[in-house]
Amino acid sequence: MRCITLLVCLCLAVPAWAGRMDKKTSDFVAANMVSIYYHELGHALIDIMKLPIYGQEEDAADVLSAVLIHDFFKEETAVRIAYATAFGFLGDRDITKAEKKEVDYWDVHGPDLQRYYTFVCLFYGANPAERLAIARDLNLPEGRLSTCEDEFRLANNSWGPVIKKLTAAGAGRTIRFLADHRVDNYGKLALDVIEAEVGSMNKDMSLPKRLLVRVEPCGTVNAFYDPKIREIIMCTEFAKWLAEVSP
């Protein structure tokens, strides 16, 4: 169990290089970069370990992100990350206003609101005794609350053995971080967050094959896994967008 191990997020003050971002904004960006990295890690593990997926792979990656946030962090930090991740799914929308947005039903990702509610449900279901107020604060309908504990149990039964296999392998250097210093302040924040998370993971686990992780400008708001070279790309533009939509 840990806090995010860098100066900028969730634990200490925002450094001067963070520019116009206040601490709440930098925390929001940092937490979302971690959850997005976990999502892309899900794609990487599915590819590297040849895991069977019944359903959409994007949904399975979302589920891993929720499981890791619950497993890897102390409760206070997990709650902060969960709030940020939930609002990250909303982008610049306000759920209380029920703002309508055209949904791309052809997309491999589920609708943002569906991902929002599923994430909140899984996070609540992982610790329902202590997170009921959080679920209600994030507007999870009462009709969904009753299924969340079972939903998390199923998620943990699927991803739990995978995580245990990786941690049982012990510490290693199978995740390699590649820094790109052509970044602005937003990119620097993303770079520091992901580099610290990669370092923490290497202390906790080993993958069966090497995985590269890179933070760099992409020209678009995105993050993705490239199976051809086993590499996760975290685009610095994503960090800037998150700062702009931070609630």
Q: Is residue 13 assigned to a domain? A: no
**What pLDDT, on a 0 to 100 scale, did the predictor assign at position 51?**
96
Q: How far is CA 173 from the centre of its chain?
A: 21
Q: Is residue 3 assigned to a domain? A: no
- Is 13's pLDDT higher than 50? no
Could you read off the pLDDT of 72-92 as tens digits, one per residue?
Answer: 999 999 999 999 999 998 875
- Is 222's pLDDT higher than 90? yes
Q: Which of 14-23, 213-222, 237-246 has the lowest mean pLDDT?
A: 14-23
Q: Is residue 80 assigned to a domain? A: yes
Q: Is residue 1 assigned to a domain? A: no
Could you read off the pLDDT of 32-86 as tens digits, one per residue?
Answer: 999 999 999 999 999 999 999 887 899 999 999 999 999 999 999 999 999 999 9
* Continuous segment of H or E residues that includes residue 201: helix 185-204
CA 224, 225, 229, 231 torsion-angle sign: positive
Separation in Å, CA 91 to CA 46, 101, 113 = 27, 12, 10
Q: Which residue has the higher pLDDT, 122 or 20?
A: 122
DSSP bridge pairs for 223: 234
**What pLDDT, on a 0 to 100 scale, did the predictor assign at position 93?**
55
Q: Is residue 204 assigned to a domain? A: yes
**What pLDDT, on a 0 to 100 scale, did the predictor assign at position 227?**
97
d(CA 219, CA 5): 28
User: How much of the chain, in percent, has pLDDT values that exceed 90?
Assistant: 73
Q: Is residue 35 assigned to a domain? A: yes
Q: Is residue 4 assigned to a domain? A: no
Which segments of 19-177 does DSSP mark as H helices, in order?
23-48, 57-72, 75-90, 112-126, 128-137, 142-168
Other Cβ atoms closer than 10 A to 230: 17
Q: Which residue has the higher pLDDT, 22 or 62?
A: 62
- What's the domain count of the chain? 1
Winning range, highest mean pLDDT, from 20-29, 37-46, 84-93, 107-116: 37-46
Token pair in block for residue 40: 């892309």
Could you read off the pLDDT of 157-197 as tens digits, one per residue?
Answer: 999 999 999 999 999 999 999 987 778 888 899 999 999 99
φ, ψ of residue 121 in degrees (nearest 5): -60, -45
**What pLDDT, on a 0 to 100 scale, did the predictor assign at position 97?**
47
155: domain range? 20-245
Q: For the whole model, what pTM was predicted?
A: 0.88
**Mean pLDDT value across residues 194-207:** 96
